[in-house]
Amino acid sequence: MHIIKVTLLIFLTPLMLHSLDYSNKQEVKAFIKKMHKKYNYNEAYLKKLFSHVRKNTRVPSKSTTKKALKTKSISYPKGEWDIYARLHLENNQTQLGANFMHKYHKELQRAYQEYGVPAEYITAIIGIESYYGKNRGRYYVFDQLTHLAFDGGKRQKFYRHELQEFLRLCYREQLEPRAIKGSASGAIGMAQFMPSNYKSLAVDFDKDGKIRLSTPLDAIGSIANYFKKNGWRKDEPVSTRVSYEGDRFYGLKTGYSYRYHRRDLKNIRPREYFPYNKKVMLIKLKKEKYDELWYGAHNFYVITRYNHSSYYAMAVHQLAQRIKKSYLAQYNKKEKATKQRLCMAPTYLENINGTWKINRL
Catalytic residues: 129
- Collect the ranges in the chain with pLDDT lower than 70: 1-17, 62-73, 333-361
| CA atoms of 197 and 227, how far apart (whole Å) | 12
Question: How many CA atoms lie less than 13 Å away from 95 in the CB half-sphere?
Answer: 3
* Farthest-apart Cα atoms in the chain, separation: 80
292: burial class by Cβ within 10 Å (0-12, 13-18, 19+)? middle
Angle ∠(352,357,359) on CA atoms, nearest 5 = 105
Helix axes 216-229, 105-115, angle to 10 degrees: 20
Domain ranges of the chain: 2-56+137-188, 239-311
In the three-class reduction of DSSP (H, G, I as helix; E, B as strand; rest coil), residue 359 is classed as strand
* Tens digit of each residue's pLDDT (9 = 90 or more) over 88-131: 999 889 999 999 999 999 999 999 999 999 999 999 999 999 99
| Phi, psi values for residue 255, rounded to 5° | 110, 165
CB 331 within 8 A of CB 102: yes
Q: What was the pLDDT predicted at 214?
A: 92
Q: What is the pLDDT of residue 347?
A: 36
CATH architecture, range 2-56+137-188:
Orthogonal Bundle (1.10)
Burial class (CB in 10 A: 0-12, 13-18, 19+), 219: buried
Fold of 239-311: Lysozyme (1.10.530)
pTM here is 0.84
The identity of residue 233, as a single letter, is R
Please give the full DSSP string across 127-156, using - where no structure is assigned. Answer: HHHHTTTT---SEEHHHHHHHHHHS--TTH
Give yes or no for a contact between 166 and 195, defined as CB atoms under 8 angstroms apart.
Answer: yes
pLDDT digits (tens, 9 = 90+) for 254-312: 999 999 999 999 999 999 999 999 999 999 999 999 999 999 999 999 999 999 999 99
Q: How crowded is the C-beta side of 108, counted as CA atoms within 13 Å?
A: 20
Residues 6 or more apart from 229 whose CB is under 8 A from it? Answer: 200, 201
57: Cα separation from own chain's centroid: 22
Give the DSSP H or E segment for 350: strand 347-352
